[in-house]
Amino acid sequence: MDFRHITTWIFDLDNTLYPPEASLFSQIEKRMTAYVMRELGLSEPEANRLRSQYWRAHGTTLAGLMAEHGIDPLPYLRDVHDIDFSVLSPDPELAALIAALPGRKIVHTNADAAYAAQVLAHRGLAVFDAVYGVEETGFHPKPDPRAYAAVRDADGFDPARAAMFEDDPRNLEIPHRLGMRTILVGDGRDGPDALAPDHDHGAHVQNRTRDLTAFLRNLAET
């Protein structure tokens, strides 16, 4: 598929700009469960159930906690992202490939920008023109259409000339509808509603790759 018209390259963060094998998000999930247990006075099984339910219904656990319980997002974000980043290692080739992409390179994550900065630093990926976290989208997470609108308005890009890389297929539906080129990174098994590898996610997933570096290397060679 031709990417020569693309002038804005949008990347998700977790399990997209680092391999899932780093298991970074498993640390976050444990802290999310503990936070829900503590704040709502729930048992661990019930907190896990609620966390998964809110992910399905609201896009993220945080969005559900805000909507259903009025949780303050800032203490939550600080707490759940207080993790060990040493499991990440620099990826000079990926950094060079992203830096060489023609046009703007941005990160759009459902995490906060401070956490994103930590991940990018440990991955050696200081190559992005902008990072948009959940604070920059009014705490509306992907796949809420308001999240994409906030990033589009803030950055001023043309969706018809943009490409989005994501590990969660849900989060590619709106970008595809807006006219972006969509690329699923990984096997699409993100979140509690895990799907089998190679599941047909529909027309909104235009490209898929298990290896972001290889995909970008191939683009550079075409």
Over range 69-89, report the average pLDDT. 96
Q: With CA atoms as reference, report the closest residue to 84 among 122, 111, 35, 34.
A: 122
Model pTM? 0.91
pLDDT of residue 43 exceeding 60, the answer is yes
**What tokens does 110 get?**
């459902």
Q: List all residues 6 or more positions away from 38 whose beta carbon is below 8 Å from its beta carbon.
A: none
Q: Report how far residue 74's alpha carbon sits from residue 96's, in angstroms, rounded to the nearest whole number.
A: 33
Q: What is the mean pLDDT of the chain?
A: 93
Q: Which CATH architecture has domain 24-80?
A: Orthogonal Bundle (1.10)
Q: What is the pLDDT of residues 171-219, one digit of tens each?
A: 999 999 999 999 999 988 655 444 444 455 678 999 999 999 999 999 9
Q: Report how far residue 17's alpha carbon sits from residue 124's, in angstroms, rounded to the nearest whole number.
A: 11
8-19+85-221: which CATH topology? Rossmann fold (3.40.50)
Q: What pLDDT is stored for residue 200 in this prediction?
A: 55
**40: exposed, middle or buried (Cβ count in 10 Å: 0-12, 13-18, 19+):** middle
Amino acid of residue 214? A
Q: Report how far residue 188's alpha carbon sits from residue 199's, in angstroms, rounded to the nearest whole number.
A: 8
Backbone angles phi and psi of 207, in degrees to 5: -135, 155
DSSP code of 170? G
What residue spans in the chain does CATH classification 3.40.50.1000 cover? 8-19+85-221
User: How are beta strands 162-166 and 130-132 bridged, if at all?
Assistant: unpaired
Q: Report how far residue 76's alpha carbon sits from residue 65's, in angstroms, rounded to the nearest whole number.
A: 10
Three-class DSSP category at 85? helix
Three-class DSSP category at 29? helix
Q: Outline where the chain has alpha helix (H).
A: 24-40, 44-58, 61-69, 73-80, 92-99, 113-123, 145-155, 173-178, 212-221
Give residue 2's pLDDT band: very low, low, confident or very high (50, 70, 90).
Answer: confident
pLDDT of residue 108 exceeding 90, the answer is yes
Q: What is the pLDDT of residues 143-154, one digit of tens each?
A: 999 999 999 999
pLDDT of residue 138 exceeding 70, the answer is yes
